[in-house]
Structure 1
């Protein structure tokens, strides 16, 4: 009889153990976990593409000894293509900070006029200076609206530094052969011209709505080395658009 009572009690005890819920082993529902990565979360990173045009011209040279008139920029064929990664760290609902790593391909197309002196006084059919850089930017972001998990409207103010990873002075000439009636096309590429600096810095601003961004950059440092003070300075201000992939 005692064995039967013990057996019944043991089976009942096992049933009680099996019915208990161990809370520490439960997996909370996914909707109770706040994601750390997302458009309006604590962290966000995305790819972007950009196109800018220069908003000013080469600078004339004024000194006590001489005056040098700078060449004119060919606006439509001068530009800056950009591709980069942008990281944003959300601090509050209206403020964030971030880093921007970008590759910039700048093209300066020079008007060919009879009185030009930069980089040489020789008049060509085409003349361009290519300047490729890698840049790192720190920015502060102000958000303007309630937006849920999206980028929304924002203003970025930042500062950047860049390192030149390649530069080329390109010229193209077409020479007519009066005897044969044929023409000869000659292209010359001078890599890493000595008058260009290897690094610099500037200020930036962006105004955006979700994927679409208006951009402006002002380069504070010179592109021309100090020892070439008789060369005009390159355009400093550029403005354009960016499209963010997210």
Structure 2
């Protein structure tokens, strides 16, 4: 009887060891698979907010705008795939709102479409549009960073599909007792380019990016250098990460 009991215990012990090995192997593989995802791992995804300001140089084919009130606001998701300790690839998917407020001058949007000097009563001359963007990038990582994004430089190109567009002008009526101000707003503008593209340079760390963006449509399309004059092509701002 004792002999059979010892044999049974030995068999049970061997089976339990085998089962434990299988369990440990499975858990280890799951942990290793989970470790592929992270800020400095093989794959990573995070969301972000962006704020930027539109600006440009005073050129013949560029309309002048009011800098601080000509801005962009956006939200997006960024993916990253690490190629090595130094290099990574990825892409952004973003939605963005852009606004250009024109200064009173001969190239303003009001004068281009109404063919008349701007009256002194004009308060606002504003072009706005929303868009969806796709932006692949190449990343160069710098220095040691642990399991963080660390410091890096991104070189990116982007394509932008305009979804909505509007032009608004606002007047005051100093000699009218009944009406103080009035607004004229037009939508679905046929004179805007629906497909935009350009270049973007970013310097970043674990928490944010600073970026400089250039809309490059006019480099490959000479027709855009004709009237109506184009809004300034540069935009600079900040990406703030919602997760890192």
Instruction: Please tell me the TM-score bracket, short chain as reference.
Output: 0.7 to 0.9
For residues 19 and 114 of structure 1, do their structure 2 counterparts lie closer, same or farther at Cα, with a shift above 3 Å needed?
closer
Is 2:99 the partner of 1:101?
Answer: no
- Contact conserved, 2:136 with 2:157, CA < 8 A, in 1? yes
The TM-score normalised by the length of structure 2 is 0.85
Identify the residue that residue 189 of structure 1 maps to in structure 2.
Answer: 185
1:12-67 deviations in Å (ceiling 9; x for gaps): 11110122211543325669933111111111111111111123057424xxxxxx
Identify the residue that residue 52 of structure 2 maps to in structure 1.
Answer: 52
For residues 139 and 196 of structure 1, do their structure 2 counterparts lie closer, same or farther at Cα, with a shift above 3 Å needed?
same
- Contact conserved, 2:97 with 2:129, CA < 8 A, in 1? yes
CA offset at residue 104 of structure 1? 1.4
Q: Equivalent residue of 1:76, what SS?
A: coil
For residues 59 and 106 of structure 1, do their structure 2 counterparts lie closer, same or farther at Cα, with a shift above 3 Å needed?
farther
Cα distance in 2, alignment partners of residues 228 and 215 from structure 1: 26
Cα distance in 1, alignment partners of residues 123 and 222 from structure 2: 27
Structure with bigger gyration radius: 1
Identify the residue that residue 72 of structure 2 maps to in structure 1.
Answer: 80
Unaligned runs of 5+ in 1: 1-6, 62-69
In the alignment of these two chains, the number of paired residues is 230
**Which structure has greater helix proportion?**
2
1:186-217 deviations in Å (ceiling 9; x for gaps): 11110022210111211111001211211011
Q: 1:233 aligns with which of 227, 230, 233?
A: 230
The TM-score normalised by the length of structure 1 is 0.84
Cα distance in 1, alignment partners of residues 191 and 160 from structure 2: 17
Q: 2:168 aligns with which of 167, 170, 188?
A: 170
For residues 119 and 206 of structure 1, do their structure 2 counterparts lie closer, same or farther at Cα, with a shift above 3 Å needed?
farther
After TM superposition, the structure 1 = structure 2 runs for residues 134-145 of structure 1, keeping only pairs within 5 Å, are 134-145=132-143
CA offset at residue 234 of structure 1? 1.8
Q: 2:239 aligns with which of 235, 242, 246?
A: 242
CA offset at residue 166 of structure 1? 0.5
After TM superposition, the structure 1 = structure 2 runs for residues 195-214 of structure 1, keeping only pairs within 5 Å, are 195-214=191-210
Q: CA RMSD in A?
A: 2.6
- Contact conserved, 2:130 with 2:165, CA < 8 A, in 1? yes
Q: Equivalent residue of 1:151, what SS?
A: coil
Is 2:216 the partner of 1:220?
Answer: yes
For residues 114 and 12 of structure 1, do their structure 2 counterparts lie closer, same or farther at Cα, with a shift above 3 Å needed?
closer
Identify the residue that residue 152 of structure 2 maps to in structure 1.
Answer: 154
Unaligned runs of 5+ in 2: none
For residues 119 and 72 of structure 1, do their structure 2 counterparts lie closer, same or farther at Cα, with a shift above 3 Å needed?
farther
